[in-house]
Structure 1
Amino acid sequence: MAILGIRSFSPDEPCYIKFFSPLTLIVGSNGAGKTVRSQLSWMCEHLRYACTGDLPPNSKNGAFVNDPKVAGINEVKAQIKLKFYNVNGQKMVCSRSLAVTQKKATVTQRSIDNALLRYDPVTGEAFSITSRCADMDSELPLHLGVPKAILDNVIFCHQEDSNWPLSEPSVLKKKFDDIFSSKRFTAALDNIKEIRKEAAADIKLGNVQLEALQNDTKKARRIRSNLTELNQQMTA
């Protein structure tokens, strides 16, 4: 992971952090900075933002980006890049960029370039999957093989939000609904019921049409039989 201009990280030169497989442990005594990097920048925040696009709590008005006043410039551009291998073993790189502009009395923050790259395992050529933030937010969980709700509330849950299991029943229910994708299950079940209802109506209509056709067939056979008898009588 490469970090540039986030929190206390310099906006001039990126810092690189390598995570090892199958597990990377960050150990230390209380207050040593296990949750934070350089005592200010949070690893969990970086990973969460890279994977979901969600800013950490209390980070509005440019608080997530290096302060332009401290940097001595009017605008600070920040970026997080994360290299990983997706569920199919393909090398991927996602990058999210922010810019904070210091005006006279206000600070504005905006998202700029975002990219999700996939590398060809044979040629090593990079292919851009998407550059739109909305598409990245929906694409990345698919490549990670983990729903966004689990990334937000379990894997990369911010410590300020870690007490969500003690939330009010309605909030807690929504969290669990998102984690277990119960809304999708309910929607799929409703869709199945609707399809079944339409199929039952089609079957009922088909049975009525079949009965009418069977009656017409019997009537046609009767007429044909009578016609044959009349022809025989006329011949005799």
Structure 2
Amino acid sequence: MATDSKARGSSLDKLAIRGIRSFDSNEISVMQFYSPLTVIVGHNGSGKTTIIECLKYATTGDLPPGSKGGAWIHDPAIAGTSEVKAQVKLRFNNLRKEKMLVERRLQVTKKKTASGLSMKTLEGVISYADADQVDKKKRQTLSTKCANIDEEVPTQLGVSKAILQNVIFCHQEESNWPLSEPAALKKKFDDIFEATE
């Protein structure tokens, strides 16, 4: 996936995060991606891995490892509330250099009867930006169904979901997959190279 706007292919533009891990649930944090390279640096716990996880979630719909039960969302106890709504928005240029927006929302709620959290997906949308840029709120929606979004974003980026999952946004906990057992390794390579035989 190219980050250079003059290069052929798609490019990332901006990422907005609210309510994910250390990112506050009351305000949106926006990251701008630059050409030809964007470097993410910071101290431990500052959110570097969370940015990559949000990019993967926006493009594939995959939550990071260990996020079941709401562990990926900003903790309601820290926020001083019983629920936290989270949002990940990614603006990118597709293969045809059209501005696209994918937005996914989640919610985590403290369980009333038992300790723990309950997480659910609220909504997701993939849309084209207004071509004339007259009304930035006016967008042409491609889909609001999660399964369709999970397929449409990689198509618009021109990169397969397997490459997004295993190469571009590979989580550090899963980065040792090239050292897997032969059968698991073959499956990964078959997915990445779209091998049918």
TM-score by length of structure 1 reads 0.71
In the alignment of these two chains, the number of paired residues is 178
Whose helix fraction is larger, Structure 1's or Structure 2's?
Answer: 1
Q: Does 1:148 align with 2:156?
A: no
How far residue 121 of structure 1 moved from its aligned partner, in angstroms, is 2.6
Post-superposition offset of 1:42: 1.8
User: Contact 1:68 / 1:75 at 8 angstroms: preserved in 2?
Assistant: yes
2:173 counterpart of 1:160: yes
1:19 corresponds in structure 2 to 33
Q: Which runs of 5+ in 2 are unaligned?
A: 1-14
Task: Name the CA shift for 1:27/1:65 in 2 (closer, same or farther; >3 Å).
Answer: closer
Q: 1:122 aligns with which of 132, 140, 153?
A: 132
Percent of paired sites with the same residue? 51
SS in structure 2 at match of 1:142:
helix
Deviations 1:31-90 (A, max 9, x none): x34xx6x25752110110111110001111101101111111111100000011000100
Given that 2:60 and 2:165 are in contact with CA atoms closer than 8 Å, whether structure 1 keeps it comes out as yes
Distance 1:11 1:45, change over 3 A: same
- Sort the Cα spacing of 1:40 and 1:84 in 2 relative to 1 into closer, same or farther, 3 A: closer
- Relative to its length, the structure with more strand (as a share) is 2
Determine if the alignment matches structure 1 residue 138 to structure 2 residue 151.
yes
After superposition, where does 1:70-81 map in structure 2 within 5 Å?
A: 70-81=78-89
* Structure 1 gap segments, 5+ residues each: 187-236
Q: Does 1:176 align with 2:189?
A: yes
Q: Work out which structure has the larger RCO, using CA pairs closer than 8 Å and 6 or more positions apart in sequence.
A: 2
Supply the distance in 1 between the matched residues of 2:80 and 2:40 (Cα, whole angstroms).
33
Alignment of 1:191-202 (within 5 A): none
2:4 matched to which residue of 1? none
The answer to whether the Cα contact below 8 Å between 2:90 and 2:103 also exists between their aligned partners in 1 is: yes
Which residue in the other structure is 2:11 paired with?
A: none
